[in-house]
Structure 1
Amino acid sequence: MTLPRTVADVLSDHVVFEIECIDRMYLNVYVPQLQYPAGLVGFVHRQLELPIASTAPLGKISDAFTAGIRRFARDHSVPMVDFVRGQRKDDVMHEHLARFTAREGVLFIGRAQEKNSVFRTEKRRNADGRAYPWIVRSTGVINQFYCYCVDADFGPFFLKFSSYFPYNAKLCINGHEWAKRQAERAGIGHTALDNGFAAVEDPAAVQAICDQLGPEQIDALLRKWLAILPHPFTPADRDAGYRYDLSVLQAEFSLTQMLDKPVSGRIFFEQVIRDNLDAGRPDQVGLVFDRRI
């Protein structure tokens, strides 16, 4: 048996298969017209039919949305969890996932208080001293509701809603989970890792599946679960164009390269470490940090 001697040897001669896929993706979920004060003023005038623009009437919508989330949890026997400081939300998710047996559904709804962008009304005065309300963007520590779910196509994901107007949300998905479910549906034999593939019968077919994941599938996931979970905006609001849109906040992409033997992996990592030992030496630190030492 000829052992590889360099990183290049390992990657050129000892990779059994490789899969490139979207890993984690974190997306903004927002109503475009409501991301600036003038848009909020228009909502208050047109949808609430109020003559004076103020954030005060929006409190009733927030209260109704929060009550709707708690009612949904009660009616569907979904656990409500109050996250505590320092608690890893993924650990809580895995605890509930281990007990979950349905094909899809809501695992639990978590509540956390986090700093978030909000609109507030402040009092201003005109030239003759009369007061009038003025809407400004600010920040505040408010409730965030994490809806942890399992989807038949995407597997575990979460949708996090802000409890304050304009009820911006975040969607977090895992592309590997989507790919594993599509491979299973297509009858492609594979051995799954927690976050990838350990073995596949047809790497090219799995790669083709990974390449298919895009905006259409992600948007369909969002629309599906917005129809299932409590929605802060009424059907009349949505008919008037106040509908959620998506944008990418953070995306991680992975290249999984499965090696033929454990020894190949050991040689790979040892050689990478050896090749980079000089990077930390005093005469090389300046190359890394662009500073004279």
Structure 2
Amino acid sequence: MKLPQSVGEVLREHVVLENESIDRMYLNVYVPQLQRIGGVVWYLRGHLGQRFASTVAIAPKTEQFVAAIEKFAKRRGVDVVSFRKDQRKDDVTQEYLAKFEADEGVLYIGRAQEKARVVRTEKRHSTITGGTYPWVVDGSAFVNYYYFYCVDEDFGPFFLKFCSYFPYNAKLCLNGNEYAKCQLRKQGIAFQALDNGILSCADPKALQRICDELDATKIDGLLRKWLDRLPHPFDDKDRAAGYRYELSILQAEFALTQVLDHPVTGRVFFEQVIRENLDIGRPDQVQLIFNRRVTRRTPGRFRTRVITEGVTPSLHVDYKRSRIKQYHKESQALRTETTINDTRDFGIGRLLHNLPALRRVGFAANRRLLEVERVSHDCALGEEAFQDLQHPRQIAGQRVPALRFADPQVQALLHALLMFVFLPQGFTNKELRQVFAVLLGKCSGEIKPGRMSYELRRLRLHGLIERIPKSHRYRLTEHGLRTAMFYTRVYARVLRPGLAILSAHDDKTSPSPLHRTFQAAEKAVHSWCDNAKIAA
């Protein structure tokens, strides 16, 4: 078997199955009117008819809800499991799944104490009358949560957990890969499963179509279906008055799974990627991947983490409250996974109907990470392309000055371009000029707009940048990205350190094997010239 030599070769020639899918989704289930104190007060006074707003009247509703859960468990023969502190809920669920034989139903009900947002009534004193009065306030408390672990015929395993305290907010957790498996079974399409994905499929196009069809309507339908089956804290009167649960996105994972032909292919990929992309978590690189601009005021950490689990490491890139994780799944597939913990990091609302926009962000981030890895590892230029840049040229009747390798001005210019590779909206004359000046050790005002226009023209005619239509902005082309990476990397990693080694004259301070080899070669040449009576 021939081993792949580059990241690009792995992605181009060794991927046997590829699909994009929503992975895990964690959704907030809530009644919108009860998320603010004003809405709670209206519920208590306007809907329940209280003279003074007080949550004391809610206590019977809470007791009825808990009693309904216990009655449901007893009637259905469902176990109620009290989770211990630090107990892995997934392990318990797997035990119940192994024994579950029906198409759908409730596996078990879990109970755990967790911190929750609650609404309280506190006693306040009037400064006018001196009397007391109730006042509704937001607060937090450790209360019982009830987890309903279920299996749905369309979605597979999922859970819905309810807070047992008013306003009874809940959480829904589902898995898009499990949804895909259920749909493949229903359609009679043969497949082989990964732990959390698909290893092989008889109809890859059908698999991708199924993954694409998982949308907000289907997810909302899952919630409505099981709210009708499970104990509900809000009665018919509440729901008729509009107090109904809605969904918003707390966390969403968007996965690109690329099944590789051999386990060693994945190891080759990560060996190359880890070495070349340890700086990908820097703000300038993060912006390229997540399609968002980072400024000094942007909150959060921007970093790359390499975590080794077993033999193969995984790569983690953080941006605000979101991150990309890339790992070798079960030594069989490359999984690139964007996890969005706050949709507002990308200027997108949290309501479920924003899922299409969020999908575009997540899947595009996965693809951009792979593209950066591909180009950063394989940034070599052909001899002809390299020589074209070293000499002035005539392009479309216009003389184009050279971009000579190792020229300080050219190196600074191409380095500056890499600072803007992340921005999909490109850069302007002014933006590039400011970075270019800093790299040359000058103040931003020392580089004039006319000088920068000259450099932009030179870059554009060489094909390294292109002008964005109907704007005064430019963006880097793939050829430009490859050229800029080649120039900056070869200079920084080969030429500069190599010249430093060769120019050292003190053997004690420069014990480099390369330096000693050149010294030996120089002595041999001088000796030969002396023997041959040739002046060196």
Code of the residue aligned with 1:140 in structure 2: it is: A
CA distance in 2 between counterparts of 1:158 and 1:190 reads 25
* Cα gap change, 1:7 to 1:68, in 2 (>3 Å): same
Measured in 1, the distance between the counterparts of 2:251 and 2:189 equals 30
How far off its partner does 1:42 sit? Answer: 1.4
CA spacing shift, 1:254–1:140, aligned 2, 3 Å: same
Q: Measured at CA, do residues 279 and 17 of structure 1 come closer, stay the same or move farther in structure 2, by a change above 3 Å?
A: closer
Q: Are the structure 2 counterparts of residues 241 and 13 from structure 1 closer, same or farther at C-alpha, using a change threshold of 3 Å?
A: same
Report what 2:197 is aligned to. 196
> In 2 relative to 1, CA 279–207 (structure 1 residues): closer, same or farther, beyond 3 Å?
closer
**How far, CA to CA, are the matches of 2:215 and 2:24 in structure 1?**
13
Q: Matched residues in 1 for 2:115 and 2:82: separation?
A: 16
Which residue of 1 is the match for residue 64 of structure 2?
64
Find the counterpart in structure 1 of residue 322 from structure 2: none
Deviations 1:127-147 (A, max 9, x none): 221211100000000000000
Indicate the structure (1 or 2) with the bigger Cα radius of gyration. Answer: 2
Shift of 1:24: 0.2
Residue 225 (structure 1) aligns with: 226
Q: Please name the residue that 1:170 is paired with.
A: 171
1:149 positional shift: 0.4
Mapped partners of 1:256, 1:92: distance in 2: 27
Matched to 2:163, the amino acid is S
Gaps of at least 5 residues in structure 2 are 282-301, 305-536
- Once residues 101 and 47 of structure 1 are traced to their aligned partners in structure 2, the CA distance between those partners, rounded to angstroms, is 44
Q: Deviations over 1:189-222 (max 9, x none)?
A: 1111121001011211110110010110000000
1:266: Cα distance to partner?
A: 2.3
Query: Could you tell me which residue of structure 2 aligns to residue 74 of structure 1?
Result: 74
1:32 matched to 2:36: no
**Match of 1:109?**
109
Matched, 1:239 2:240: yes
| Whole-angstrom CA distance in 2 between matches of 1:265 and 1:195 | 18
- Amino acid in the other structure paired with 1:53: A
RMSD value over aligned CA atoms? Answer: 1.7
C-alpha deviations, 1:85-124, integer Å up to 9, x for none? Answer: 0101111111111111111000010110011110111111
Moved more, 127-136 or 259-268: 259-268
The Cα of 1:277 is off from its aligned counterpart by 6.5
Aligned ranges 1:251-290 → 2 under 5 Å: 251-276=252-277
Q: Distance in 2 between matches of 1:288 and 1:94?
A: 34
Question: Which whole-Å deviations, capped at 9, do the CAs of 1:66-95 have from their partners, x for residues lacking one?
Answer: 000000000000000000101011111111
Counterpart check, 1:212 vs 2:251:
no
After superposition, the C-alpha distances for 1:225-256 in whole angstroms (9 at most, x for unaligned) are 00000000001110110000000000001111
1:278 to 1:111, Cα distance in 2 relative to 1, 3 A: closer
Distance 1:44 1:275, change over 3 A: same
Q: Deviations over 1:1-56 (max 9, x none)?
A: 43211111101111112010000000000000011112111111233222121011
Distance of aligned partners of 1:240 and 1:97 in 2 relative to their CA distance in 1, 3 Å threshold: same
Aligned to 1:118: 118
SS in 2 for 1:133: strand
Higher relative contact order (CA 8 A, sep 6+): 1
Counterpart amino acid of residue 66 in structure 1? V
Partner of 1:149: 150
For 2:259 and 2:209, locate their aligned partners in 1 and report how far apart those are by CA, in whole Å. 18
Q: What is the distance in 2 between the residues matched to 1:268 and 1:10?
A: 7
Aligned to 1:284: none
Separation in 2, partners of 1:274, 1:39: 55
Separation (CA, whole Å) in 2 of partners of 1:288 and 1:38: 41
What SS does the aligned partner of 1:207 have? helix
Amino acid of the structure 2 residue aligned with 1:31? V
Give the aligned partner of residue 9 of structure 2.
Answer: 9
Give the distance between the partners of 2:275 and 2:254, measured in 1 at CA: 26
Aligned to 2:394: none
Cα separation, partners in 2 of 1:277 and 1:160, compared to 1, 3 Å: closer
Specify the code of the residue in structure 2 equivalent to 1:220. G
Question: What's the counterpart of residue 450 of structure 2?
Answer: none
- How far has the Cα of 1:288 moved from its partner? 5.2
Partner Cα distance (1:87, 1:8) in 2: 42
Distance in 1, Cα, partners of 2:303 & 2:105? 48
Evaluate the alpha carbon distance shift between residue 288 and residue 85 of structure 1 in structure 2; reply closer, same or farther with a 3 A threshold. Answer: closer
Q: How many Å separate the matches in 1 of 2:221 and 2:267?
A: 42
Aligned to 2:158, the other structure's residue is in SS state: strand
Aligned length: 283
Structure 1 pair 262–32 and aligned structure 2 pair: CA distance change class (3 A): same
In structure 2, how many angstroms separate the alpha carbons of the residues matched to 1:120 and 1:263? Answer: 59
* Structure 2 counterpart SS, 1:216: helix
Structure with the larger strand share: 1
Letter in 1 for 2:143: I
Q: What TM-score does the superposition give when structure 1 sets the normalisation length?
A: 0.93
Distance 1:278-1:110 versus aligned 2 partners, 3 A rule: closer
- Comparing 122-131 with 222-231, greater Cα deviation is found at 122-131
Identity of aligned residues (%): 58
3-state SS of the aligned residue for 2:233?
coil
Partner of 1:283: none
Residue type at the aligned position of 1:183: L
Equivalent residue number for residue 41 of structure 1: 41
